């Protein structure tokens, strides 16, 4: 999919005349690529119609950048496909938030349950796991093993065979123990599908989840539409997690699931390990689909859009480069393609950081950095890092929380400071150029 769409968009960059004919050709290619990637036919048709409606070439005033308008319309509509415009569920501390997982056998529920509990644990929630899968032998052992490794309290039983009772008991236990996030894992297979759906409905009615997460295998393709509908018709699906996006999955099916449920994708599973869970970002997902590693003409657009939408610009205008800005830069980088190719492209990146990120251990290094940033509190992220030196215990806490050495945290703080200085110089320069009328 990536290659074909980038190809279509490249013709936009190289064409000398931008007219209706060119737009139609580009749209034809974009749609063909989406269809080839298992995106639902109806969705593709409506995408095409919307873009045609937004880009009215004849009415565009002379002098406007038609290329940019077309690129932006295509990019925005692709983002809209994966973003239903619904605010995803967020647990609140200090009260029990029951999150129930549903999905077919093998989709990655049990794995993702632990990842999610771990994710919230790191954010300071008290999280626990409840296993209700009494169908598959070894299901409880699997959850127990994962949970033990991640030091997450769990509930399950080798003797109780009623999943509804297990769900009730587990949730009750953790509620009365004052847990904030109670994750309920369910079974994904039964002798008959009707049994599976009946069980899901009963568990949902019994525990009254605050959020139901549908887990879908990213490689599922066209079948995602029917699956998502079946689940949506049975339980109140509120969020979607797409797993196995570390392989060759294009995620086209994911798009159908969003349309079928009207629910947002909240996380992406990118591996079998506990930290392989990424917060879903529509723009990153789309950039990846578009094969931004190709660095086609859209690259600039994506960069522009990301900058427009982030707080980075605002922060820079106020003269601060915060750790949160650093986090945005890092996560943007991880979404753009092979690190070795993009590390050097982020403006203002200190050379030693760029080389750390583009060598053989690049993605492990990036993960470590993201891990440290994830272990920081909001106040810390919104600071430029000075706060850590006035209260060094913060450095130790982050090091412990992310399993790195104190020196690693100090290094990150130093690199953030350097990057901030570079950015400040650059934004000063571009302001000056604007004043002189010579800049972009």
Least spacing, CB of residue 101 vs ligand GDP, in Å: 8
Judge contact between 246 and 288, C-beta under 8 A.
Answer: no
Please tell me the distance from the alpha carbon of residue 395 to that of residue 335, in angstroms, as a whole number: 27
Which among Mg ion, ligand GDP, none contacts residue 246 (Cβ within 5 to 8 A by kind)? ligand GDP
User: Packing angle between helix 193-207 and helix 163-176, nearest 10 degrees?
Assistant: 30
Please choose which of ligand GDP, Mg ion, none residue 106 contacts, taking the beta carbon within 5 to 8 angstroms, the exact cut-off set by kind. ligand GDP
The beta-strand segments (E) located in 343-408 are: none
Task: State the DSSP string of 164-221.
Answer: HHHHHHHHHHHHHTT-SEEEEE-----SSHHHHHHHHHHHHHHH--SEEEEEEETT-T
Q: Smallest distance from the beta carbon of 276 to ligand GDP, in angstroms?
A: 6
Say whether residue 263 binds Mg ion (CB under 5 A).
no
Choose the one of Mg ion, ligand GDP, none that binds residue 105, judging by a C-beta under 5 to 8 angstroms depending on kind.
ligand GDP
The stretch near Mg ion (CB under 5 A) out of 43-51, 107-115, 397-405, 414-422 is: 107-115
* Nearest distance in Å: CB 280, ligand GDP: 13
Smallest distance from ligand GDP to CB 226, Å: 18
Half-sphere exposure of 334 (CA within 13 A, CB side): 22
Nearer to ligand GDP, 66 or 109 (CB): 109
Nearer to ligand GDP, 141 or 359 (CB): 141
Q: How far is the CB of 143 from ligand GDP (least distance, A)?
A: 9
Q: In what order do the strands lie in the sheet with 211-217?
A: 154-155, 127-131, 181-185, 97-102, 211-217, 237-243, 265-269, 277-279
Q: Minimum Å distance from CB 284 to Mg ion?
A: 28
Please select the residue that binds Mg ion; options are 110, 239, 283, 329, rule is CB under 5 A: 110
Q: Find the helix packing angle between 41-54 and 20-36, rounded to 10°.
A: 160
Binding site for ligand GDP (CB under 6 A): 103, 105-111, 188, 243-244, 246-247, 269-272, 276
- Within a 13 Å sphere around the CA of 199, how many CA atoms are in the beta-carbon half? 26
Closer to ligand GDP by Cβ: residue 109 or 126: 109
Residue ranges in contact with Mg ion by CB under 5 A: 109-110
């Amino acid at each position: 999919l990536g290659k074909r769409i980038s190809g279509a968009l490249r013709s936009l960059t190289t064409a000398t005349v931008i007219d209706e004919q060119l737009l139609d050709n580009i749209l034809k290619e974009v749609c063909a690529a989406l269809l080839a990637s298992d995106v639902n036919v109806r969705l593709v048709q409506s995408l095409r119609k919307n873009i045609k409606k937004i880009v009215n070439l004849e009415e565009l005033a002379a002098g406007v950048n038609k290329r940019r308008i077309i690129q932006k319309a295509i990019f925005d509509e692709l983002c809209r496909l994966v973003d239903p415009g619904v605010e995803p569920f967020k647990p609140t501390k200090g009260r029990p938030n029951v999150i129930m997982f549903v999905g077919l056998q093998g989709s990655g529920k049990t794995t993702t349950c632990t990842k999610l509990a771990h994710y919230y644990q790191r954010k300071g929630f008290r999280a626990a796991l409840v296993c209700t899968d009494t169908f598959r032998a070894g299901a409880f052992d699997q959850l127990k093993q994962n949970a033990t490794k991640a030091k997450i309290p769990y509930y399950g039983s080798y003797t109780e065979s009623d999943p509804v009772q297990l769900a009730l008991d587990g949730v009750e236990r953790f509620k009365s123990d004052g847990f904030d996030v109670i994750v309920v894992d369910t079974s994904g297979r039964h002798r008959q599908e009707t049994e599976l759906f009946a069980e899901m409905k009963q568990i949902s009615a019994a525990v009254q989840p605050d959020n139901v997460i549908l887990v879908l295998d990213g490689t599922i393709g066209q079948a995602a539409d029917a699956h998502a509908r079946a689940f949506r018709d049975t339980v109140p699906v509120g969020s979607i997690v797409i797993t196995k996006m570390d392989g060759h999955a294009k995620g086209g099916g994911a798009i159908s699931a969003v349309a079928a449920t009207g629910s947002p994708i909240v996380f992406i599973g990118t591996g079998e390990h506990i930290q392989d869970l990424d917060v879903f970002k529509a723009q990153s997902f789309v950039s990846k689909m578009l094969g931004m590693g190709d660095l086609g003409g859209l690259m600039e657009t994506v960069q522009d859009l990301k900058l427009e939408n982030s707080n980075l610009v605002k922060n820079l205008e106020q003269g601060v480069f915060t750790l949160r800005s650093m986090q945005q830069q890092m996560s943007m980088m991880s979404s753009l393609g092979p690190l070795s190719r993009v590390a050097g492209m982020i403006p203002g990146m200190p050379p030693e950081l760029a080389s750390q990120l583009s060598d053989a251990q690049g993605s492990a290094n990036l993960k470590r950095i993201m891990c440290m940033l994830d272990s920081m509190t909001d106040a810390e992220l919104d600071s430029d890092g000075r706060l850590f030196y006035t209260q060094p215990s913060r450095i130790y806490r982050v090091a412990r929380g992310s399993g790195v050495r104190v020196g690693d945290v100090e290094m990150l703080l130093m690199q953030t400071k350097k990057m901030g200085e570079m950015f400040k110089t650059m934004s000063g320069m571009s302001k000056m150029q604007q004043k002189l009328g010579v800049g972009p």
